[in-house]
Each structure stands twice: as structure tokens, then as C-alpha cells.
Amino acid sequence: MASIAPDHATDLLLVIDVQNDFCPGGALAVPGGDEVVPAINGLAQGFAHVALTQDWHPTDHHSFASSHAGRAPFDTVDVAYGVQVLWPDHCVQETEGAAFHPNLEAGHAELIVRKGFRREIDSYSAFFENDRRTPTGLAGYLRERGFRRIFLAGLATDFCVAWSALDARREGFEAVLVEDACRAIDMEGSLAAATADLEAAGVSLVRSTDIAIA
């Protein structure tokens, strides 16, 4: 494919949840999660505008298996907004696990979107909580700043990155997912399912080598 040159006026790099708990040794480690850091650092050098998301849970968050007696991580329960996967306790507010990976170089990021801080609602997407009705405010911010195309990278491809990319499309933005700057959990075919949904929604799937970094 032809090389993509970021537009410094209307493109933004959205880095999803590159936090210690999602990297090797963390409470909910994505396989190879720390491998995204060099790729994201390289991408960030080529974007004038960068935003980060940060999972930011209270200690008793409803998505934690520890909040449900007799339940184990990766069990599922029915909640008001559908089926909820139960996770190990992770990205608890003000803990080292919730901190960004120490080697992430995105000091010029203009916005950090914290999500999952409401006890009763999990949050994968950078745009909406999982009830699909409660917005984070990101879409309005992007519109007011005049951004049109969102490049996405981070963790995990088949959950928070994919949900964010799909919501970017629903909100009327172009969305480009940089595959080698992401890693997946791939739980019971979740990566293949997410990829099919992304392609159907018109999300462009590229590699970092397809992006011309000046």
C-alpha cells in the first residue's frame, strides 16, 4: 500500500492503555504487551498530536472477579449492560500497576482519558463506557480540536483498541489501527472476531512501516 503521511493538523495518535498491569509481570498481562512500546515511541515522534487512555479502576470495581463471591478470573456474569468478563484486579487507581509503562515516550501527549473509574460499569472503549451510553467526552474533544483521522495503538487489540476504533468510526472519524503497535489477549477467538468487526466497519489495518514518519 502507499505510505501514509500523518497530517499534523487533523491526525491524532491515540495510545490505548500501555500500563504496567497489561505488560509482562502485570496483573492482567497481555502476551508481549511491552513489545508495543518501541513501535509506539517511533510513531509518536511523527505525530504532532497524541492522546493516551488509562484504565483507572477503584479497588472494588464490578469487573473484578474478587468483587463476586465464588467467581474466578475470566468467568462471566450478566450485568445490566450485557455479559461481563470478570478480570483479575488490575489498574487500581494510584497503584504502580495503573502507571504507564516506564519506557513509553509520549511526553507531548495533550490529553489523558481515564476510563473505568465508575464502579458499576466496565470501560473498554476510549469513547464510551461499556453500557454504550455513557461518553468519556473524547469525541467532543476531538471534534472541537478539528481532528478527523485517528491512529490507534496499544493494548489489547481485541478489547480496548478494537472497541475504541469501532467507536471512532461510529462517531464519524476515520480510524487506522497500527497492528504491530498492538498486542492481543486472543481469548477464545476474540482476535479474529475483532478483526472481522474492524474490517466491516471500515477501519484501516496497517503496520507502522506503512506510516511515513518525518
pLDDT tens-place string over residues 108-147: 999 999 999 999 999 999 999 999 999 999 999 999 999 9
- At 1 the pLDDT is 58
- Residues marked active site are found at 17, 115, 160
Radius of gyration of the CA atoms of the chain, in A: 16
Is residue 214 over pLDDT 90?
A: no
Domain boundaries, given as residue ranges, for the chain: 11-58+90-210
Query: If you average pLDDT over every residue of the chain, what do you get?
Result: 96
For the stretch 155-171, pLDDT in tens is: 999 999 999 999 999 99
Listed in sequence order, the residues at least 6 apart from 116 whose beta carbon sits closer than 8 Å to its beta carbon are 55, 56, 57, 61, 63, 91, 122, 123, 129
Per the CB < 8 A criterion, the answer to whether 171 and 32 are in contact is: no
| SS3 state at 148 | coil
Q: Which of 169, 161, 213 is nearest to 16 (CA)?
A: 161
What's the pTM value of the predicted model, to 2 decimals?
Answer: 0.96
C-alpha cell at 43: 510513531
Percent of the chain, pLDDT > 70?
A: 99
The helix (run of H) or strand (run of E) holding residue 118 is: none
For the stretch 172-201, pLDDT in tens is: 999 999 999 999 999 889 999 999 999 999
For residue 23, the one-letter residue type is C
Of 213 and 88, the structure prediction assigns the larger pLDDT to 88
Fold assignment, 11-58+90-210: Rossmann fold (3.40.50)
